[in-house]
């Protein structure tokens, strides 16, 4: 009974916080827009008995999903989100790997402080940090004033409300999610392997590509998934740092829910986004399982 109770707790948690909300969103996505509260129809009337249940299911349809394929706004938003997520993940990896490598090669007494510095931004509100970047990247912001003071530019650069600002915000926000798993992989690595490779004639560069890079592969994969999965549905950063030309599915989802109050279409957009995210989530879980089996 204790074993069953132990297994039952996470399944009940999953049922309450994922499956039930997903079923509600799926039901709304199969409904039709209505000028009512809530703004969709049909409504399930249990007082009508079995006939009411049959009438309810007979009115559900796939019109909202068909609409997503017909309006180019939605598939362009999905493609744009995928492109921005992939580029942002690659940039985060380029910035995060050297930092994780430097942390793993730092003296033992320095590593706790370096880890604390990586985690320190989480002590501040995510929204406040994004607003801070608005002040930094604005035309009269700190970055432009500094560049003009150095004489690098003669007039302020237009960075805010562009895709460049979105990439800067994403890399800054999700950088710890890339650094920490890579650092964990590098920290567990046996440094005597590098010494043996150098004794056998390998240069440091060759030893890195032949030993360090393959052994840190699991951390790189985990970090890429931890960045890519939340970024593809990001709403705050593209809304505050991106311009009108920055098209991401999170912004479209917000507009459909709160501006257009078209809950059925917004729910269909959310369901399709979830189905897209299931693929990297499954790959991430399989990667974690293989890593645990290898360590076991």
Q: Kindly report, residue by residue over 243-289, the tens digit of the pLDDT.
A: 777 889 988 999 898 888 899 999 999 999 988 888 777 877 777 77
Q: Residue 187 class from Cβ within 10 Å (0-12 exposed, 13-18 middle, 19+ buried)?
A: middle
Q: Are 184 and 104 in contact (CB under 8 A)?
A: no
Question: Would you state the structure tokens that stand for residue 207, as one six-digit string?
Answer: 């030893």
Question: Would you state the structure tokens that stand for residue 243, as one six-digit string?
Answer: 């311009």
Q: Kindly report, residue by residue over 180-223, the tens digit of the pLDDT.
A: 999 999 888 877 787 787 777 778 788 888 888 888 888 998 89
pLDDT (0 to 100) of residue 289:
78
pLDDT (0 to 100) of residue 292:
72
pLDDT (0 to 100) of residue 164:
92
Ordered DSSP codes for 45-114 = -GGGHHHHHHHHHHT--SHHHHHHHH-HHHHHHHHHHHHHHHHHHHHHHHHHHHHHHHHHHS-GGGHHHH
Distance CA 174, CA 166 (A): 12
C-alpha distances in Å from residue 86, one per residue of 220, 227, 282 = 14, 9, 17
Question: Would you state the structure tokens that stand for residue 69, as one six-digit string?
Answer: 């394929």
Q: What is the mean pLDDT of the chain?
A: 87
Radius of gyration of the chain (CA): 24
Domain presence at residue 231? yes
Q: How many domains does the chain have?
A: 1
Q: Are 264 and 64 in contact (CB under 8 A)?
A: yes
Q: Are 93 and 86 in contact (CB under 8 A)?
A: no
pLDDT (0 to 100) of residue 271:
92
pLDDT (0 to 100) of residue 91:
96
pLDDT higher than 90, residue 227: yes
Question: Would you state the structure tokens that stand for residue 40, as one six-digit string?
Answer: 């969709």
Q: What percent of the chain has pLDDT over 90?
A: 34
Q: Are 96 and 175 in contact (CB under 8 A)?
A: yes
Q: Kindly report, residue by residue over 28-81, the tens digit of the pLDDT.
A: 999 998 887 888 888 887 777 788 888 888 888 899 999 998 889 899 999 999
Distance CA 246, CA 77 (A): 9
pLDDT (0 to 100) of residue 228:
92
Domain presence at residue 209? yes
Q: Residue 173: in which H helix or E strand, if any?
A: helix 163-188
Please, which pLDDT band fits residue 296 given cuts at 50, 70 and 90? Answer: low
Residue 192 belongs to a domain with what CATH number? 1.10.3720.10
pLDDT higher than 70, residue 295: no
Domain presence at residue 202? yes
Domain presence at residue 138? yes
Domain presence at residue 133? yes
Domain presence at residue 12? no
End-to-end CA distance of the chain: 28
Domain presence at residue 21? no
Domain presence at residue 46? no
Looking up tokens 């703004």 gives: 39
- Angle 63-70/72-105 helices, nearest 10 degrees? 80
pLDDT (0 to 100) of residue 93:
96
- Domain hosting 251: range is 64-295
Distance CA 118, CA 113 (A): 9
């Amino acid at each position: 009974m204790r074993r069953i109770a132990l297994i039952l707790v996470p399944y009940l948690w999953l049922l309450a916080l994922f499956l039930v909300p997903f079923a509600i969103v799926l039901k709304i996505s199969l409904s039709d827009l209505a000028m009512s509260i809530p703004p969709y129809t049909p409504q399930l009337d249990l007082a009508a008995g079995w006939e009411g249940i049959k009438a309810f299911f007979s009115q559900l349809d796939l019109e909202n999903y068909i609409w997503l394929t017909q309006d180019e706004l939605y598939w362009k938003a999905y493609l744009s989100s995928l492109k921005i997520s992939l580029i942002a993940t690659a940039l985060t990896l380029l910035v995060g790997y050297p930092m994780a490598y430097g942390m793993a090669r730092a003296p033992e007494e320095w590593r706790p402080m370096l880890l604390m510095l990586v985690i320190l931004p989480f002590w501040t509100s995510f929204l406040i940090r994004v607003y801070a970047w608005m002040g930094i990247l604005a035309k009269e912001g700190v970055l432009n004033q500094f560049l003009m003071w150095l004489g690098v530019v003669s007039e302020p650069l237009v960075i805010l409300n562009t895709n460049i600002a979105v990439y800067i915000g994403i890399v800054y926000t999700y950088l710890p999610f890339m650094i920490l798993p890579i650092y964990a992989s590098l920290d567990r690595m046996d440094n005597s392997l590098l010494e043996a490779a150098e004794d056998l004639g390998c240069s440091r560069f060759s030893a890195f590509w032949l030993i360090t890079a393959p052994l840190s592969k699991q951390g790189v994969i985990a970090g890429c998934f931890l960045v890519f999965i939340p970024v593809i549905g990001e709403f705050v950063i593209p809304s505050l740092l991106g311009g009108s030309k920055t098209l991401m599915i999170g912004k479209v989802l917000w507009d459909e829910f709160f501006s257009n109050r078209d809950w059925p279409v917004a729910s269909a957009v959310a369901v399709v986004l979830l189905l897209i995210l299931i693929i990297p989530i499954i790959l991430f879980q399989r990667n974690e399982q293989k890593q645990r089996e290898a360590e076991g």
